Chains A and B, each alone.
Chain A
Amino acid sequence: MSAADNPLPTLVSMRGIVKRFGANIVLRNVDFEVRAGEVHALLGENGAGKSTLMKVLLGIHAPDEGTILVRGEPLASISTRARLEAGVAMIFQELSLVPAMSVADNLFLGREPLLFGGRIDRRRIRREAVELIAGQGFALDPDALIEDLPFAARQQVEILKALSRGASVIVMDEPTSSLTVREEEVLHTTIAQLRGAGIGIVYISHRMSEIFRVADRLSIIKDGQIQGPFATEQITIPEVSRLMARSAAVVVMKPKARREPGEIVLEVVDLGTARKLRDVGLALRAGEIVGIAGLVGSGRSTLAKALFGLIPDARGDVRLSGREIGALATPPRIRAGMALVPEDRRAEGLVAQHSLTANVALPNLADLTSRWPGVLSWRRETEMFLKFRDALHIACREPGQPASELSGGNQQKVVFAKWFASNPKLLILDEPTAGVDVNAKAEMRALVLRAAEKGMAVLLITSELDELAGLADRLIYMVDGRLVPGEATPRGEEEIRTVLQQLAITHEAA
């Protein structure tokens, strides 16, 4: 694409970027550019290299090879500060605003204009804030406290903050993930205004329909290589899905039809929560792996937590092996035979500073008492750990080692071990392979299959579509807290992706 095709000047241009982490090549010869007044969408699976590319752009990582040109000039320094001065800023998912301070104070945080004697010039702050807000045509009250503002307005403050520091390129990472539908409209208006002002926007999102609505061009990262840019008018959603799919080599072989589903283990009728879930009904049989496909934020984790009794306002019938447990708290549900490998291993799965033995024992304390009532048997505890250390090949130094010292993959195995040890009837897995390396992923997937072969009913939530395609016996789809009908036995990850995108679009239309 030459300059003749498009009169807009290029603001930032990354050429031939290579980034390695040890022996691992994360970015291979990536070209990426942003023009003034365009929205350039960046797509890719988790771990494809999206965030690494953005960190290189923002100066958090130095590229091993390649150049970055800002308005045609090569960047001398790689520091974040230099990048800010060059006009690249990122709007974070977790906004970097002080909730208890006003909009105006937040805009000038850290660079307050001073009066004689070091007093803050509040009048000037307010005056300049009003000018800034008016300059972008936002409907913001400069005196409002951030904590009183809706999320979309906070995003506007973030954007203003970036602009007032001279940003001409703004990176937005999943900007709609926390927004309501109405707020999304506000954001889209904001983006249109920025575009009109000649700001270049990098737009990262999983929602394809949104990308096609907002973006002018899109690029796709897969396994560290970039494809594109494509003009959004000249490409279709199925074509993009195909480009995003990983090579066939990664897909686990599917040992279908080896397991006979047994009797019904889990039966859910009309499960709902105040905020997220609506009328969820499903049934799982012993030895069956059922995958839940859905986009980030569709309520899959909420469903997992609601089934596990962790959401107090959940209402509905939950039967485990015929026993009604919908009104029970978590401990009796675990005793009834439920297990949950949670989404966030470090925050929810492990007590990181405690020993491996103690972590595996935690849900099973009642089974580990000695002859004395209420007293733990250290011997039985250690035996339990050693048994599962060997069964799951947990690489560790000693049973008393703190869980924090293990690698991500081994930590996840410890989480699996603690629930395998409880011998559950139903195993709920929420992103079981998130943040572990490729080999550990394969081991984790083998564990899931083994659980099903042992006769557990497995409910699998994962954003990795090849995992869904490779492991699940059948799929159910979730959009905005509801289960929606869809192809239960799709042929591969591409088909899952297409179904998901279509469901998202039909749902938005409805």
Chain B
Amino acid sequence: MTNSTLTRGLTPSPIPAMAAARRAFGWQKAKRLARDHITFIVFGLITLFFILHAPNFASLATANAIGRITAVVSIMAVGMTMVIMCREIDLSVGALASLSAMVGAMLMQTGITPWLSIPVMTAFGALVGLINGLIVTRLRIPSFLVTLGMLSILSGTALTLTDSLPVPIGDRTLGKIMANGTLIGLPAAVWWTVVFALAGIYVLHLSVIGRQMAATGGNEAAARFSGIDVDRAKVVAFAICGACASFAGYMLAARASAGNPSVGVGLELNVIAAVIIGGTSLFGGRGSVVGSVIGAIFIGILAFGLVVIGLSTTIQEIVKGVIIILAVSLNRR
């Protein structure tokens, strides 16, 4: 029986009406499933369009390329999902990625081993996120404003550090570890995406703190009345979001073998779009890490596919925007 979860607790009944009712349930469930995942259906159709119309689109090389391109947005989207789940927003992730690219590159110039620099940079991002979260929860300022201010502070700092000059990274290992090296045929960037996605699933969907985030975003008053420390849930979400953004920014630096102070400009918009396309409610309480990663990949496929079918990059931006609005409007609930 395909719909056993629905009928659990009901004894199998020979009455035809009940069987019909159960079939109706199955149909309704299918409809609900289609409605809940309408964006993924659209996503599938668009991918199919590229496969049919773009030469050699359906290849492992394409998949690897898209995986590499989207890793940064995917990883940032994992953290952003937690913040949006709490009914907050973090606009500072792109600027944090820029700053992390710079700080990371400068850190590498001190001669630190790459393996140590990665956790240091991740902790650096968590610290920035922690500050965001503390300001939001302690001073009761909307996260939109706090992180908008933080965006300015972080990008300004990134530019000021070297008077807006890029910082080269001499070490080759870092690039291999974080982006370009391969393991079992997959690029390191894809592996990191998997690691962050799994960690995100663990935190958001399996652990107590994730449930607390969902309850906080779903109904903050009810969560508080149930003894949830909503402020702590938010602070943790912001810290994780910062850690993800910083890691992603460092990954950008490693890939380019240089820290560039404007490498993350505008990334926050792609990240938020990925999360919302992935089915996470902008009004909190409902969402999924896997959806966000799929959303990020969708944006990547869209960008890549539009290049392959030969649209100019300027028109691409327009088409991308239209499709994102369409996808989100279908997903709005």
Contact = CB atoms under 8 A, between A and B. Distances in A.
A282 interface: no
> Which residue, B215, B218, B227, B229, has most C-beta atoms of chain A within 10 A?
B227
A354 B215 contact: yes
A366 B222 CA distance: 17
Contact of B208 (A351, A376, A397, A398): A376
B224 A398 contact: no
Contacts of A342: 225
Contact of B211 (A308, A331, A376, A398): A376
A497 interface: no
29 contacts: A308-B225, A310-B225, A330-B224, A330-B227, A331-B228, A334-B227, A335-B227, A342-B225, A347-B221, A348-B221, A349-B225, A351-B218, A351-B285, A353-B285, A354-B214, A354-B215, A354-B285, A358-B211, A362-B222, A362-B226, A366-B208, A374-B208, A375-B202, A376-B206, A376-B208, A376-B211, A397-B6, A400-B5, A418-B226
Interface of B: 5-6, 8, 202, 206-209, 211-212, 214-215, 218-219, 221-229, 285-286
Contacts of A340: 225
Contacts of B215: 351, 354, 358, 362
Interface in A329-369: 329-331, 333-335, 340, 342, 347-354, 358, 361-363, 365-366, 369
A374 B207 contact: yes
Contacts of B219: 347, 350-352
Enumerate the 5 nearest inter-chain pairs by beta-carbon distance, A residue then B residue, closest first. A351-B218, A334-B227, A362-B226, A363-B226, A331-B227
Contacts of A397: 6
A365 B224 contact: no
Contacts of B222: 347-351, 362
A347 B225 CA distance: 10
A369 B209 CA distance: 11
A375 B207 contact: yes
Interface string A316-333: 000000000000011101
Given A354-B214, A354-B218, A398-B5, A348 B208 contact: no
Nearest to B212: A365
A361 B222 CA distance: 13
Contacts of B8: 398
A463 B60 CA distance: 69
B218 A353 contact: yes
A22 to B, nearest CB: 24
A335 B224 CA distance: 14
Contacts of A418: 226
Nearest to B220: A351
Interface of A: 308, 310, 329-331, 333-335, 340, 342, 347-354, 358, 361-363, 365-366, 369, 374-376, 397-398, 400, 418
Contacts of A363: 226-227
A381 B6 CA distance: 17
Nearest to B218: A351
Contacts of A354: 214-215, 218, 285
A342 B206 CA distance: 28
Contacts of B218: 351-354
A67 B215 CA distance: 49
Contacts of B228: 331, 362
Contact of A353 (B224, B225, B286): B286
Given A340-B225, A349-B222, 6 more contacts: A352-B218, A361-B211, A362-B211, A362-B222, A366-B208, A418-B226
Nearest to A341: B225
A366 B208 CA distance: 8
Nearest to B25: A397
Contacts of B223: 351, 362
B303 to A, nearest CB: 33
Nearest to B286: A353
Nearest to A342: B225
B289 to A, nearest CB: 15
A405 to B, nearest CB: 12
Nearest to A378: B206
A334 B224 CA distance: 11
A347 B224 CA distance: 11
Nearest to A333: B227
A488 B219 CA distance: 38
Contact of B209 (A329, A334, A374): A374
A347 B222 CA distance: 6
B206 to A, nearest CB: 5
A507 to B, nearest CB: 30
B126 to A, nearest CB: 17
A120 B14 CA distance: 72
A415 to B, nearest CB: 9
Contacts of B286: 353
A392 to B, nearest CB: 16
A398 B226 CA distance: 23
Nearest to B281: A353
A397 B219 CA distance: 23
B27 to A, nearest CB: 15
A342 B211 CA distance: 21
A160 B285 CA distance: 43
Nearest to B284: A353
Nearest to B232: A331
Contacts of A353: 218, 285-286
